[in-house]
Amino acid sequence: MTQPTILLTGFEPFGDHALNPSAQVAAALAETTVGGAVVRAATLPVDAARVGPLLHGLLEETRPVVALALGLAAGRAALNVERVAVNVRDFTIADNAGVQATGEPICADGPDAYLATVPVRALVTAIRAAGVPACLSNTAGTYLCNQALYMLAHLVAGWPEPRPRCGFIHLPCLPEQAAHQARSYGDEGWPSMSLATMCAGVRAALHATLEGVTIS
Ligand code: PCA
């Protein structure tokens, strides 16, 4: 019997950010075991043209029971468990390939939105129970993080059951990011959270997601 897998992705740095905690959390949890499943981690480029094909390849390669993507949302103070991804790309800053989408669909033939298929409320409860601030978020924006959740759901939509549970969590800044960029966000800088605390929260979210998933 092969061990079930969890696909956990983070994003590379983008915009003004020299770091992206999401890639660091994914790397820190790589090859660890959560609830009997092993974490396969990857860092995605902040590149609208490449995210879909890369996620497709990762899903085919890992055939996960859970696919959880992570990203940075500077200014948030808690782990934000995203409920929904919309079929819109509308960028306030260009992606790392220099592309600035203005209101086009991610998939011309896709539905307007997909709901995350991880149990979002249970994730928030589990993350909080691990001592980590968390909340439910009803918008993942219209940039690459929204696109990642949309594509995960879209790519597995045609798969036979049981399909992987798909979700997305936005993370706060790391303390070192907030310290370096304080002047660009008022005197106090952004709210921040340590890498270890974020990792504990994401592990709790993965545990909660695996509850009720049949691992064969
Ligand atoms: N955050 C961006 C894209 C990559 C990331 O980490 C977002 O929220 O869309």
Counted domains in the chain: 1
Q: Is the CB of 171 under 6 A from ligand 1?
A: no
The DSSP-derived string for the chain is -PPPEEEEEEE---TT-S--HHHHHHHHHTT-EETTEEEEEEEE-S-HHHHHHHHHHHHHHH--SEEEEEEE-TT--SEEEE-EEES-EE-SS--TTS---EEE-SSTTS-SEEE--S-HHHHHHHHHHTT--EEEES---SSHHHHHHHHHHHHHTTSPSSPPEEEEEEE-B-HHHHHHTTTBTBTT---B--HHHHHHHHHHHHHHHHTT----
**Any domain includes 31:** yes
For 115, the domain range is 5-210
Catalytic residue check, 82: yes
133 Cα to the center of ligand 1, angstroms: 19
**Any domain includes 87:** yes
**Any domain includes 47:** yes
CATH code of the domain in which 141 resides: 3.40.630.20
Q: What is the pLDDT of residues 23-81, one digit of tens each?
A: 999 999 999 999 999 999 999 999 999 999 999 999 999 999 999 999 999 999 999 99
Q: Is the CB of 119 under 6 A from ligand 1?
A: no
**Any domain includes 216:** no
Reported pTM: 0.97
Question: Of the residues 8, 47, 68, 72, which should be mutated to test ligand 1's pocket, given the most ligand atoms within 8 Å of the CB?
Answer: 72
**Any domain includes 73:** yes
**Any domain includes 215:** no
**Any domain includes 179:** yes
Res 186: pLDDT: 66
**Any domain includes 66:** yes
Average pLDDT, the chain: 95
